[in-house]
Structure 1
Amino acid sequence: MPSDSNKILFHSRYQPYDRRKGSERGMNVILTTEESELCNFLTLVTQNMKENSPELPSVELRIAGGWVRDKLLGYECNDLDIAINSMTGCEFGEHVYNFLRLKGYAAENIHKIESNPEKSKHLETATTKIFGREVDFVNLRSEEYVEDSRIPSKVTFGTPEQDAYRRDLTVNALFYNIHTRKVEDPTKKGIVDLKEGLIRTPLDPYETFKDDPLRVLRCIRFASRFDFSIDEKILVAVKNEQIKNAISAKVSRERIGIEVDKMIKGPHPALAIKLIYEMNLYDTIFAPPQDYLGTLDNPKIAVCLAKILEWLLLTSNENHLHVNLSSRTPEDIRFLYLASFLAPHKTIEIPSKKKNHTSFHHVIKESLKLKGSDGDITNKLFSFIDQITTVANQNLFTPSDRKSLGLLIRDIGSQWYNAFILALICELLPKYPDIESGILNESYKIIEKYNKLVDLIIDLELQNCFNDKPIINGKEIACLLSLKQGIIIGEIQKSVIEWQLENPGGSKGQCEEYIKNKYRDVKSS
């Protein structure tokens, strides 16, 4: 058995929340200078209203939600949502605007953002900039739901307690009172759950998810974002078939896609897909087409691939992954995790009269409503796995391999590094139990094969060959061989590229001689 020091841990690519101190961790909000100035200013606005408009109800201001959570966890947050107890956000925004002008500050117009339930905005919001910082104003609210919709049927003014209990999670139901400069925890669970690293709903999770099943996905996203555990009651509720059906019936595919994309872009995508798998939600979220050929693979494959990918990217120095493979951009990493998440769909096809095609485009465009280009790239990454694996497992390379390697990279295009990584993690898949246990010798051997292949590609100066243009263009070929433009010109241009790959130091004149000899009997059709 491996020692604890050899155990592979799947670390975050961002600094994770440190739960080791548990309840000993301090839960204090420390304002920046700019935040303190803003709170002071908003306090003056309410004092001015009280002095000059005594007929108005007393106004209390609280910073709500994510800002409070993040500040208590030691993160900075730029999203400032100000909750108002006795008037709408637009009404209070006008008072802010007038006070800014009264004091001679730059005052931007108040922008009214209409309610948009599909984007989880159930009340109109007012937004403006104060001292250059964007601030949203919204009133405290209470909500009621009907059976067949996740959109509240009735939204009214509420107390801080009512507003807190209608929120998705206890850790998102905290307030920072601008006047007292203290954190308020109406559910009496938010601060405890932050200390313990727990995702929990303020009310019974079954009723919470029945009202708004999108909150199931938000539980997963926040648990993976902060590396928190999920309350056992949530896990039980989610496995209820009525909740799964509610996700499909009430939550738009666009909203599902938005949440999944945020999980993928977050610090712990592998944890997100693990939770999706453990909650038996894979088919619900990554819904396959209605009619398909083959059998959807076990969703656990997506979990294992994502964890192997996380290990490769986050411990690249320790596992000796080639720097050109480990140095991926955030967009590259997004593509790779998306491909890992969708790997179980590799084994099914959508029937078609001409040619069956993969289900990746369907899942990405229909089940998740992501960009069509995401489907194109995912499909491309998977389509070259077998070829890349075959090349990586060749023991000997000859000079003629420059052409075959170059053509492979040209076929893949700019995504070739990502395609190599996906092929690598797929080849490492049978080794996942060993990787998880810290038994790494065989995995290192597989990684080294891909490292050598990348070194060879760089030594042969092929890493950017997908950008190379034919040294002889179409018009020049037509003139050289006395041909008319047509399909044959394209075929000859492919031969030009092949010659260039085989003769990296060759001149244009030498290529022309090669083409004249090879195609001397070709005539225009």
Structure 2
Amino acid sequence: MRVALASTIKQNPLLLTISSFLYRPPTKTVSFRNIFTVNTTRNLGFLRCKATMSEQEPPRPVVVQVRDKIELTDTETKIFSCLLNTLRHFNLETVLRVAGGWVRDKLLGKDCYDIDIALDNMMGSEFATKVAEYLSATGETAPSGFGVIPSNPDQSKHLETATMKLYDLWIDFVNLRCEDYSENSRIPTMRFGTAEEDAYRRDLTINSLFYNINTSSVQDLTGRGIADLKHGKIVTPLPPKATFLDDPLRVLRAIRFGARFDFILDEELKKAAASDEVKAALAAKISRERVGTEIDLMVSGNQPVKAMTHICGLTLFWIVFKVPLQVEPEVLEGCEMFCTAYLDAAWDLTQLIGSSTFNDDQRRLSRYAALFLPFRNTTYKDNKGKKVPVVNYIFRDSLKRKASDAETVMNIHRVLEKFLSLIPSLVSAEDVKVNDGQWSKELVDVPDASKLRVLTGFLLREIKNFWRVALLISTLLYPTHVDHTEDMLNQHFQLDSKQDLFVAAEKAITKLGLDEVWDLKPLVNGKDIMNVLQLKSGGPLVREWQQKLLAWQLAHPSGTAEECIDWMKETHLKRIKLQ
């Protein structure tokens, strides 16, 4: 592959810009030819260029509007006054600092409701108890919630946290700390630390800022947090390689924050993140649950394509999205570029259609469905020898996400071919072409004039309220005779035509009255079917007729239960006579 790609570079000057950034393949390299029957050498070069260009181009200058001081809301003012009054009431010589994301977001002029209070000389639970006692002693409204979350190193919860609800906001209280890491673990030994030590042990400089409640001032104890915020830079307070080896999860956090704020990843940070030692540590030291949480935040965030582009460019894709060693068909080196390209296309198409068309969960899972689209026909054998979609493995084993996410994405992939077969009829006057391998045999009794409504109805009942997501992904693959890898190389992925296709198909489905057809209740129940067929118990024959009667009901949206039963009796008698 490297030789072929080098040849492609010679033929295409554009690829000279990335000739020094050849992908280092994972331990298992497999081919993707059964999924994409294309000239992979030519297309892979272009897609590699697209997905890694942001890692290769010189950093663009960024100027971020950062406020000179933090402006508190009325609620924040009440909370901080309550905390300061607690200090005075008990004569405590404690410095209260708001740490991390709240300070960053407030300086950026963004709302933030995640307030973490760092204490310099006591445990969070001790101070939270004092706050509750102060409120009780002064007759003020007692906190509506108070609890202590114990440390849980296995879940990346290294420190005990006290949490309390004040003035309708949840506040976390922790002590300032310093972390000492052992060589083979990302679980540190914790001890009380100074504010400066706490700042330097943070993942990024933009997350290391403090707001000193006692003095109403911002403290930048690394000396560069505000500067990096103003220049839009993602930098670690300490040398990045050591920072990442201590806690490799910080690699994914750096990528997530870089994408979220559209900030530039520091060059030294990128080199460290792409190093073999850090990748090995990320694979060995980080729980799959924590990896999955970070990826889900990226995918559901405001810049999922940028995040996945970083993951590809830093050669982390196969570390994050681990697949079984033995898969069918085999997966090609470089197919992660196709994954990112499909995500990019789905993201852009969603913006054209309008994000409001989908709810939050539909948007999130549509991105996963697009990202994993190249794996839709790829399977592996489980311990029982059963073929299972690789997408299931990625969700459940690589990312440890909930089973329902895996099932939804697999269902979306499963119905794509059916959607593709219906799109021509939905958007034009073409007759429906039924593929016996896709549709159930009981549909042979459906009149041609009703076939589109019946087949579309069955399809929507199969995918339910994710049908618009399935339609969105289907439009990326339409028409089926076009080389979609070539299509990816064209500007905007021909998205204007894809948008028109989606809108036309969606309107046709709505006009057929099929939105929420999965809630349609059968006109005839199983007992009625058994009476007509003169059966004493249910079984496959009853289930077969349930499908036939549902098809009749879809074909006759105004039909009654009596008419449906009459049709069943008539059809049943005809079949008896033919036997």
TM tier relative to shorter chain: 0.7 to 0.9
8 Å CA contact retained: 1:304, 1:429:
no
The CA RMSD over aligned residues, in Å, is 2.4
Cα distance in 2 for residues equivalent to 1:354 and 1:290: 14
Residue 120 (1) aligns with residue 172 (2) = no
- 1:285 corresponds, among 301, 307, 320, to 320
Write the distance in 2 (CA, Å) between the matches of 1:59 and 1:370. Answer: 41
User: Which amino acid in structure 2 is aligned with residue 492 of structure 1?
Assistant: W
**Equivalences for residues 337-352 of structure 1 within 5 A:** 337-351=367-381
The equivalent position to 2:529 in structure 1, one of 477, 502, 507, is 477
Tell me the residue number matched to 2:330.
295
1:356-367 aligned at under 5 Å gives the runs 356-367=387-398
CA shift at 1:384, angstroms? 1.6
User: Is 1:105–2:149 an aligned residue pair?
Assistant: no
Matched, 1:396 2:437: no
- Equivalences for 1:261-276 in 2 at 5 Å? 261-276=296-311
Q: 1:31 matched to which residue of 2? A: 72
Q: How does 1:210-289 map to 2 (within 5 A)?
A: 210-289=245-324
Distance in structure 2 (CA, Å) of the matches to 1:385 and 1:88? 55
> Kindly tell me: are residues 497 and 200 of structure 1, through their superposed partners in 2, closer, same or farther at Cα, counting changes over 3 Å?
same
Q: Distance in 2 between matches of 1:273 and 1:376?
A: 22
Give the one of 78, 81, 85 matched to 1:44.
Answer: 85
Match of 1:376 in 2: 407
Q: Distance in 2 between matches of 1:224 and 1:23?
A: 15
The offset of 1:227, in angstroms, is 1.8
Q: Write the mapping of 1:3-152 to structure 2, written as runs, cut at 5 A.
A: 22=63, 25-50=66-91, 58-108=93-143, 110-152=146-188
Residues 148, 426 of structure 1: CA spacing in aligned structure 2 closer, same or farther, 3 A cutoff? farther
Deviations 1:124-160 (A, max 9, x none): 12222334432221111111000111010x2111111
The one-letter amino acid of 2:152's match is: N
Amino acid of the residue matched to residue 432 of structure 1? M
Note the alpha carbon deviations across 1:241-268, whole angstroms, 9 max, x for none.
Answer: 1111111111001111111111122211
Instruction: Tell me which amino acid in the other structure corresponds to 1:190.
Output: G
Q: Are the aligned partners of 2:152 and 2:158 in contact in 1 as well (CA < 8 Å)?
A: yes
| Displacement of 1:347 | 4.6
Q: Structure 2 vs 1, CA of residues 146 and 492 (structure 1 numbering), >3 Å: closer, same or farther?
A: same
2-side partners of 1:491 and 1:214: how far apart? Answer: 52
Secondary structure of the residue aligned to 1:45 is helix
Residues 27 and 191 of structure 1 are in contact (CA less than 8 Å); yes or no, is this contact kept in structure 2? no
Q: How far apart in 1 are the matches of 2:83 and 2:550?
A: 67
Cα distance change on mapping 1:87 and 1:408 into 2, 3 Å: closer
Query: Cα distance, 1:110 vs. partner?
Result: 4.8
Whole-Å separation in 1 of the counterparts to 2:497 and 2:119: 61
Q: For residues 372 and 317 of structure 2, what CA distance do their matches in structure 1 show? A: 10
Instruction: Give matches, 1:484-503, under 5 Å.
Output: 484=536, 485-503=538-556
* Cα deviation, residue 425, structure 1: 2.8
Q: Distance in 2 between matches of 1:475 and 1:218?
A: 57
- Give the 5 Å matches for 1:128-207: 128-152=164-188, 154-207=189-242
2:468 to 417, 428, 437: 417
Distance in 1, matches of 2:452 and 2:559, equals 17
Q: TM-score, normalised by structure 2?
A: 0.79
Q: Distance in 2 between matches of 1:46 and 1:365?
A: 48
- Decide whether aligned partners of structure 1 residues 295 and 130 sit closer, same or farther in structure 2, where only a CA change above 3 A counts: same
Letter in 2 for 1:67: W
CA separation of 1:40 and 1:349: change in aligned 2, threshold 3 A: same
* Contact 1:168/1:202, CA 8 A, preserved across alignment: yes
Aligned partner of 1:453 in structure 2 is 505
* 8 A contact 2:62–2:232 mirrored in 1: no
Paired with 2:88 and 2:458, the residues of 1 have a C-alpha distance of 72
Contact map agreement 2:300 2:364 (CA 8 A) in 1 = yes
Displacement of 1:64 in angstroms is 0.7
* TM-score of the aligned structures, taking structure 1 as reference length: 0.87
Structure 1 window deviating more from structure 2 (298-307 vs 155-164): it is 298-307
Confirm or deny that 1:519 pairs with 2:572: yes
Given candidates 434, 440, 459, the residue that maps to 2:490 is: 434
Q: Find the counterpart in structure 2 of residue 321 from structure 1.
A: none
* Secondary structure at the counterpart of residue 135 of structure 1: strand
Q: Offset at 1:288? A: 0.3
Structure 1 contact 83–140 (Cα < 8 Å) conserved: yes
What SS class does the counterpart of residue 431 from structure 1 fall into?
helix
Q: Is the CA contact 1:296–1:347 (under 8 Å) kept in the aligned structure 2?
A: no
- Which structure 2 residue ranges, 5 or more long, are not aligned? 1-59, 432-448, 479-483
Q: Any conservation in 2 of the 1:23–1:192 contact (CA below 8 Å)?
A: no
SS in 2 for 1:419: helix
Q: Give 1:435 shift.
A: 3.4
* Mapped partners of 1:425, 1:28: distance in 2: 47
Alpha-carbon distance in 1 for matches of 2:321, 2:424: 33
- Structure 1 residues 191 and 487 mapped into 2: Cα distance closer, same or farther (>3 Å)? same
Going from structure 1 to structure 2, the CA distance change for 1:24 and 1:290 (only over 3 Å counts) comes to closer
Specify whether residues 500 and 390 from structure 1 end up closer, same or farther in structure 2 by C-alpha distance, changes over 3 A only: same
TM-superposition CA deviations, 1:369-419 (whole Å, max 9, x none):
111111111111111222212322355345232222223323333321111
